[in-house]
Structure 1
């Protein structure tokens, strides 16, 4: 939340980062109205006058970008194209946060696809590149290195052994 808020507004310290945030909502459960309500409550607790809350929320939400990929392949492609999106659509803002909720949404369809591929190609040990999560982690790591955002991955109960120490996993 602080990522998209300004640092100050009319001499009120908001402690925001004044940066952009990108959310990949893979399970389509993110509620924008609820998020706006939480932002409004947060700003009111900071002592912001009611007439200023709406414009601050509007400005903050313009720095919040939500993508809803329908598969691991779409997620990996979206992440791979994030630098281009940043250059064309967010060129005035630094991306301070990239979040994927949830990294495990496509686990079962991906597992089925990999098992099917292994059996049809008669592979005993396929290369890591056929695993969709490997591709996602690779492009996410590349973006993290080039743009240095805080990176958050949520997980619905799966153990993610291939994700390295550079990521924060919230259960």
Structure 2
């Protein structure tokens, strides 16, 4: 069904859904042709879905959802509810607000992966992963040890005069902390530019 035959509110809803689909596609670095090939449609037909000119078929919406690993309707519904009498609520402005937290974390993880691929060699990426894992592990051990001491719990860790495990985890966390801050600062600067 073409957009001409739809009431104004339905065409606005299609336009919002299309905008959300476009943002999801761009978030994953895909072209319209890539998505259209996955849906078994032409690029022009998929482009009409994104522009809100055509109603999207249920089968295509399900394939799109599977490809993107998230439902575009979940993001579109809050935007559709904010359609005013004057026109569309700004989808770009409301996009991040409608994004569930886990999707925002997923977007940051994907961005971090792109950042590392652009900035670091494979060896440096492995060293960054090891550093992050060691920092996380040392911080977790220090927190568990503190909880064990504070609440007089026995988590199976040896107890003695000098708590070497706590001391070693603090030392490792203190040594790796500046590297983690530098990595985060570089990532934030890269994120703002890209």
- Normalising to structure 1: TM-score of the pair? 0.28
Higher relative contact order (Cα pairs below 8 Å, separated by 6+ residues): 1
- Normalising to structure 2: TM-score of the pair? 0.26
Give the helix-richer structure, 1 or 2.
Answer: 2
